[in-house]
Amino acid sequence: MNMKSLRFIIPLGVFALLVFFLWRGLRLDQHEVPSPLIGKPAPSFALTRLDDANATLRRDDMLGKVWMLNVWASWCGACREEHPLLVEFSKTKAVPIIGLNYKDQRSDGLGWLNRFGNPYDASIFDQNGRVGIDFGVYGVPETFVIDKQGIIRMKHIGPLTPDVIDKRLMPMLRKLNA
């Protein structure tokens, strides 16, 4: 090969490589971003309940139970999309659902639940977002499944859908409760 051929082959090879990585990236499910917390203990927390500033819920209060943490906020448009499904899912009593009211105002969160229904066994108030940051939340809604030992087993980014509940969430819950 001469130098003139290499001037065309090298940029073509680099372009093909970029196209491959772009194609691969576009095929990934944006809701299944790998979390470094999967398989690790859920971050420790002690937060006041949204409905009672004098009552505290801690992560350790949930040990011995499979449970779900749903991160939400009254200002979140995607949470409004997810909420009716979450209310319906909560009626199955498949798992305790703890809400993490994220970077919100207490009165706004309470107003939201009064207006749209309360799917949560308890909702905790994370006004400054510290616990959300500990969980690696970078947008709401996000949902975590935590096992009886307090280990995070699943993270879903974005609104839950019937498909996610049927194909990911319920099989995970059956496995963890077996």
What phi and psi values does residue 56 have, to the nearest 5 degrees?
-115, 140
Distance CA 177, CA 100 (A): 23
Task: Give the whole-angstrom CA distance, residue 55 versus residue 6.
Answer: 70
Q: How many domains does the chain have?
A: 1
Which residue range(s) make up the domain with 90? 31-177
Residue 26 lies in a domain: no
The mean pLDDT of 120-143, rounded to a whole number, is 96
- Asked whether residue 33 carries a pLDDT value surpassing 80, the answer given is no
User: In this predicted model, what pLDDT tens digit does every residue of 45-73 receive, in sequence order?
Assistant: 999 999 999 999 999 999 999 999 999 99
| The CA-based dihedral angle spanning residues 146, 150, 152, 154, taken in that order and rounded to the nearest 10 degrees | -20
pLDDT confidence bin for 7, thresholds 50/70/90:
confident
Q: Is 137 strand, coil or helix?
A: coil
Please state the pTM of the whole predicted model: 0.82
Task: Kindly give the residue spans of alpha helices, DSSP state H, lying in 28-118.
Answer: 77-90, 106-116
In a domain, 14, yes or no: no
CATH code assigned at 65: 3.40.30.10
- The answer to whether position 156 is within a domain reads yes
| Banded model confidence at residue 11, pLDDT cuts 50, 70, 90 | low
20: in domain: no
> Has residue 27 got a pLDDT over 60?
no
Q: For 37-48, give the secondary structure using H, E and C.
A: CCCCECCCCEEE
Residue 114 within a domain: yes
Q: 19 lies in a domain?
A: no
Query: Where are any strands of DSSP class E within the chain?
Result: 46-48, 56-58, 67-72, 97-102, 122-126, 142-146, 152-157
**Predicted local confidence at residue 138, as pLDDT:** 86
